[in-house]
Structure 1
Amino acid sequence: MPTNLKVEKVTEQAELDKVFAVRREVFVVEQHCPPELEWEFEEESNHFLATVDDEPAGACRWRKTDKGYKLERFAVLQKFRGFGIGQALVQAVLNDLPADAGYVYLHAQVQAVSLYEKFNFEKTGPEFEEAGIRHYKMIRK
């Protein structure tokens, strides 16, 4: 179990590079997502980096869309999975959203649905494919 887990909102390029390295490893290398689909909306997003003993362990982001607030790109490096880092990332993002954030949603990979359900997200609509991976749209109730 990680003893020194931190999740921080990051804006400096050095920290953003760590966020992007985590996402590259999880989405592009491990899950074979096309790189051109991975790198979009970076400037308008709020990025978060999870570290364990100052070592990058996970990343995510949120951004305002025309529909509401979308939580995205939750990634935890393989060696850090199963230690609650995903939950810490979700909580950090939810804590960072504006107080008046009414419509909060995400596209959950099928294997991560139960994580988001812990935070009152509910599946809506049919399963769909995004970047070759099965997803459900989930909305926070």
Structure 2
Amino acid sequence: MDTLHVQKAITKEDLEKVFAIRKIVFVHEQGCPPEIEWANEEESTHFLAISDHYPCGACRWRKTEKGYKLERFAVLKEFRGKGIGRALIATALDDLPADAEYIYLNSQLDAMSLYAKFGFSAEGEQFEEAGIQHFRMVKKG
């Protein structure tokens, strides 16, 4: 039985694992420019997913002028389809302050149905970020 655990990444070691996962998924796999990928790290709260003691996923949230933004959801290719993305979203949402009113994210098209399961709805026009098509999604209710 696989064990899956999502924890806040606070130690330097955990943050290095988070950044390594994101580098594999966003920079190598999806071709995102590294300088875009590493923006806003300091003010973000980071999370690390561990499956059977193996670091396999990451995400973060941060407070912006608009509200609370969930971002940088990344799961290593060999771990996809195992519920890790769902666990990351649930953990990040649970960690937000109780008074977080406006919660949003920019979703790649193929992830929209996953975020929709958590009450996010697409808003506005499709747009491109780092060469990949996205929609802004906002959490309702």
TM-score strictly above 0.5: yes
* 1:69 counterpart = 2:65: no
**Residue ranges of structure 1 left out of the alignment (5+ in a row):** none
Instruction: Output aligned runs, 1:13-52, within 5 Å.
Output: 13-52=12-51
1:10 positional shift: 1.1
User: How big is each residue's C-alpha offset from its partner over 1:93-129, in whole Å with a ceiling of 9 and x where there is no partner?
Assistant: 0000000000000000000000000000000001100
1:81 positional shift: 0.1
Distance in 2 separating the partners of 1:119 and 1:60: 15
Identity of aligned residues (%): 61
Aligned-residue CA RMSD (Å): 0.6
Distance in 1 separating the partners of 2:135 and 2:16: 28
Alignment partner, residue 94 of structure 1: 93
Normalised by the size of structure 1, how large is the TM-score? Answer: 0.98
Distance in 2 separating the partners of 1:46 and 1:91: 14
Distance in 2 separating the partners of 1:109 and 1:53: 27
Distance in 2 separating the partners of 1:66 and 1:109: 22
Instruction: Output aligned runs, 1:51-62, within 5 Å.
Output: 51-62=50-61
Distance in 2 separating the partners of 1:124 and 1:99: 23
Runs of 4+ in 1 over 4 A off after TM superposition: none
Paired AA for residue 65 in structure 2 = D
1:58 positional shift: 0.3
Paired AA for residue 25 in structure 2 = V
Paired AA for residue 39 in structure 1 = W
Q: How many residues align?
A: 140
Paired AA for residue 43 in structure 1 = E
Distance in 1 separating the partners of 2:107 and 2:135: 5
Alignment partner, residue 117 of structure 1: 116
**Residue ranges of structure 2 left out of the alignment (5+ in a row):** none
Distance in 1 separating the partners of 2:111 and 2:11: 29
